[in-house]
Amino acid sequence: MIDRMLRGIAGVFLLVSLLLAHWVSPQWLWFTAFIALNLLQSAFTGWCPMIWILQRLGVK
């Protein structure tokens, strides 16, 4: 369940950051890059801050 939530949250964050970059400011692409880098580091280290947050909120 937590893995599906994580993918959903990452997808929403990416889409929102791209929409903000298109309609507000291209500087929002830095947030898009941050999300991508976070996903890459979690693939290598096995640790993801969002999973830690979701676990603290009681998601199983």
DSSP 55: H
When divided into structural domains, the chain yields a total of: 1
Global confidence as pTM? 0.82
Instruction: State how far the Cα of 4 lies from the Cα of 21, in Å rounded to an integer.
Output: 26
Burial of 10 (0-12, 13-18, 19+ CB in 10 A): middle
pLDDT tens-digit map of 18-48? 999 999 999 999 999 999 999 999 999 999 9
Range of the domain at 45: 2-56
The confidence score (pLDDT) of residue 60 equals 81
- Burial annotation 24-49 (CB, 10 A radius, 16+ → b, else e): eeeebeebbeebeeeeeebeeeeebe
